[in-house]
Amino acid sequence: MFDLIPDKDYRVPSACAVSGIMNQDGKKISGRNIIDSIAVMHERSNGLGGGFAAYGIYPELQDFYAFHMMFENESGKKAAEDYLNEEYIIEKTEIIPTRPHENILSNPILQRYFVLPKKQHEDEKDFIVRSVMFINANIKDAFVFSSGKNMGIFKGVGYPEDIGEFFRLEEYQAYMWTSHGRFPTNSAGWWGGAHPFGLLDWAVVHNGEISSYGINKRYLQNFDYKCTLSTDTEVITYLIDLLIRKHGLSFELASKVLSAPFWNDIERMPEEEKNFYTSLRITYASALLNGPFGIIVTNSEYMMGLTDRIKLRPLVAATKGKTLYLSSEEAAIREICSDLDKVWSPKAGEPVIGKIATTVQST
């Protein structure tokens, strides 16, 4: 027993790892780039979770919601498909392509469905959200881990570079990629609990621990969001959807809710600004994220990096031409782009936001 390595030698205080690439001109690149970036930070994860989000990968089916789904067994798959057939027109369904990998010994059934609701709804996106919540909460052994248009999430139990190769991501072309290497501290490592977390075209990767999870979860329940995945990152994804899509806040304002200024900082602001941020903090008191975090949030148009108010988790930003990079470490960025135009460390609680060109979005 004296040959056992003490736990302290495994623990990495600032793990997990996050990385993101956004070509703001819409240029698509292979998933090989993001795999190489996240692989540099191998020591930040422990093999219990890795994953990727990719945007622009289904141009021939871009008008359909792409449901990426996991099933523990065939009965879960059948029950979910019965629900989908009742509520949706299914344009295409297929097994998500994978390859055998020596470090991934087992996996759930992985299937994707390209769908549209059969009926018209007052807000189609609200209906998609309700569907995802219903499947994840009520259909046993079935889980929707991606539900946006022309994008997809690929994740599982393993080191991120192994997960990327398992899902054959070098075969995909996307204008934006994010990735995550997990080092779980307070929840189990399982396929559904790996990052990114997704809802509609949102995807969130997170390094840290949300100690306000209980308060955030109860707040979200008031708006019919169901947190069923036993991982604190889930609340970040749903809060982003609520604040930006439902309540119409900008990314900048949403960041000031999630990583709000301290009260003593607000007290020193000019009167008008002080009143505004006081109202914002009071209105969204239960949406504040407490605890250390560094996150990358994406949808089909934006990528945002954000840390907690005292930056207990690292985040580095860089640019090269029209490309924005975000990562836990500068080395992970320089692995794929050595001659950067600019590199900086964002201030605590200050967002870094990139946007895809409007002309690209219309094509």
Q: Are strands 109-117 and 88-95 parallel, antiparallel or unpaired?
A: antiparallel
Nearest to 160 by CA among 36, 57, 333: 36
Distance of CA 34 to the CA centre of its chain: 14
Q: What are the φ and ψ backbone dihedral angles of 114, each rounded to 5 degrees?
A: -105, 115
Nearest to 344 by CA among 330, 332, 354: 330
Token look-up 């941020």 returns 277
- Annotation marks residue 227 as catalytic: no
Q: Which of 8, 14, 16, 71 is catalytic?
A: 16
By residue count, the chain amounts to 363
Q: Are strands 109-117 and 151-156 parallel, antiparallel or unpaired?
A: unpaired
Hey, which residues are catalytic here?
16
